[in-house]
Amino acid sequence: MPNENAILSFEDLEIEFTLRGQVLRAIRSVCLDVYRGESLAIVGESGSGKSVFTKSAMGLLDANGAITGGHIWYEGKDLARYTTEKEWRAIRGKEIAMVMQDPMTSLNPLQTIGDQIAEAVRLHQDLKGGAAKAAAVEALAAVGIDEPERRYKQFPHEFSGGMRQRVVIAIAVACRPKVLICDEPTTALDVTIQAQILDLIKILQKKLDLTTIYITHDLGVVANVADRIAVMYAGDIVEVGKCEEVFYDPRHPYTWALLSSLPQLGVKGQALYSIQGTPPNLFHEVHGDAFAPRNPQALNIDFVERPPLFEVTPTHKARTWLLDPRAPKVEPPEHIRQLRQKGGYLHG
């Protein structure tokens, strides 16, 4: 059973997709707790399954995808057993809401933004007619849009990208959810707008007592907003811990590689580190540690058996054989060691 502090708890979750007769294992037996009121960031490169993972908690998998094992616990209910649309509608929006990546396409181009917000208000706040409109205008004001009355009647194409993302957030928040999933909320935006949007989400989180889950490949975003980080690779969470634990004392070779490729850690005059190779093809069965073929310091066992989640501290876990007592001592790369010193994790 799930941890009692967790509002949302994934237990051995498995998700498979069927594409033209081939089975793709998108999520391979993943466990993760999301604690009430925290903000958790799920980090990984594109195609690692982070989006699919969170979408499964809202029943938004594409038609060819299905949960084939495990549980998703939400307030004592197992969402993984949900099948009908009626069951899901009690969750979607009302309990868990979502902000999607591309604000340019996530609004209906032929409806006024007011109508689109009011739609959410009517569904989840039990308001009708003028009251719904008033609530929608209020939501617009709450996300920092000037002249909400006038903007209410406008169409999405009359808004800039950042403004549209504010509207999308307004829609999500208008549902009064408990959990807010932000799927790459700033990827499609200008750098100058990104910080504003993140601040907005942070403010709303405090004000409305939300639990937020960020999905991102941008470690800069993570450092800004996250209490905890989960690192995802090839459909599996390889390392999870508090923000500073993962940043300053990473244990999984993939996390090392990911952090090493941060431009901020690069040395002037030297080529920026990049991870060799490509992620594995999930149509084929993955043996052992999925990252092993790209890891110069992989152990033999990495190709044979999947590592368990080793506990570094009670809050910090990693899925690598390097943490096994039998494993040889492997030093992380130079700049990761520097990070450790900065964070005071010298003896980690």
Partner 1 sequence: MLKYIGKRLLRSLLTLFIIITIVFALLRLMPIEGYFQNFEKMTPTQIQVGLQQLGLTDPLPVQLLHFWQNAAQGDFGVSHKYRVGVDVVEIISGKIPLSLSIGMSALALALLLGLPLGILMARSTRTRWKIGDKLGTVFVVVIQAIPAAIYYIFIQFYCSQLPGFSMFVDAKQPLTWVLPVCSLALGNIAYYAMWLRRYMVDESNKDYVKLARAKGVPTSEISRKHVFRNAFVPLVQFIPTSVILTLMGSLYVESLYSIPGMGGLLVNAIQLQDNTLVQALVLLYAAISIIGLLVGDILMALLDPRITLGRKEGGR
Partner 2 sequence: MAIFRIKDSKTQALANSLNKESARQFSQEELFQFAPYDPDAGERGGYSDYSYWRSTLRAFRKNRVAMFFLCVILATLLFTFLEPLIPYDREPNTIYYIEQEKINLFTRQPVLDEQGNPVVEVSRATDQRPGQEFWFGTNSIGQDLWSQIWSGTRNSLFIGFSVACVDALLGILMGVLWGYVRKLDFFFTELYNIFDNVPQTLIVMIISYVLRPGMGTMIFAMCLTSWLATARFIRNQVVIIRDRDYNLASRCLGTSTWRLITKNLLPYLVSIITMRMALAIPAAINNEVFITYIGLGVPLETPTLGNLVETGRKVMGEAALRYQLFIPVVILATITISFYIIGNAFADAADPKNHVN
Element (H, E) at 118: helix 113-125
Is residue 103 within 8 Å of residue 168, measured between CB atoms? yes
When binding is defined by CB under 8 A, the residue of 8, 30, 100, 197 that contacts partner 1 is 100
Burial grade of 328 (CB within 10 A; 0-12, 13-18, 19 or more): exposed
When binding is defined by CB under 8 A, the residue of 66, 153, 203, 303 that contacts partner 2 is 303
Q: Does 41 bind partner 2 (CB under 8 A)?
A: no
Residue 157 binding result from partner 2, partner 1, none, given CB thresholds of 5 to 8 Å by partner type? partner 1
Q: Does 307 bind partner 2 (CB under 8 A)?
A: no
Residue 222: how many CB atoms within 10 A of its CB? 22
When binding is defined by CB under 8 A, the residue of 85, 126, 146, 285 that contacts partner 1 is 85
> C-alpha angle 66/71/75, rounded to 5°?
120
What are 40's strand-pairing partners? 213, 228
Q: Which is nearer to partner 2, 196 or 297 (CB)?
A: 297
Give 34's contacts (C-beta < 8 A, 6+ positions apart): 6, 7, 8, 9, 40, 179, 211, 213
Q: Which is nearer to partner 1, 186 or 255 (CB)?
A: 186
When binding is defined by CB under 8 A, the residue of 1, 4, 20, 109 that contacts partner 2 is 20
Q: Does 279 bind partner 2 (CB under 8 A)?
A: yes
Q: Pattern 52-81, binding to partner 1, x per CB under 8 A?
A: ------x-x--x------------------
Q: Which is nearer to partner 1, 81 or 89 (CB)?
A: 89
When binding is defined by CB under 8 A, the residue of 102, 218, 227, 244 that contacts partner 1 is 102
Residue 36 binding result from partner 1, partner 2, none, given CB thresholds of 5 to 8 Å by partner type? none
Residues 120-149 that bind partner 1 (CB under 8 A): 120, 123-124
Alpha-carbon torsion (2, 323, 256, 249), positive or negative? positive
Is residue 298 within 8 Å of residue 312, measured between CB atoms? no
Residues 266-325 that bind partner 1 (CB under 8 A): none
Burial grade of 168 (CB within 10 A; 0-12, 13-18, 19 or more): buried
Contact positions toward partner 1, by CB under 8 A? 58, 60, 63, 85, 89, 91-94, 97-98, 100, 102, 105-111, 119-120, 123-124, 155, 157, 168, 171-172, 175
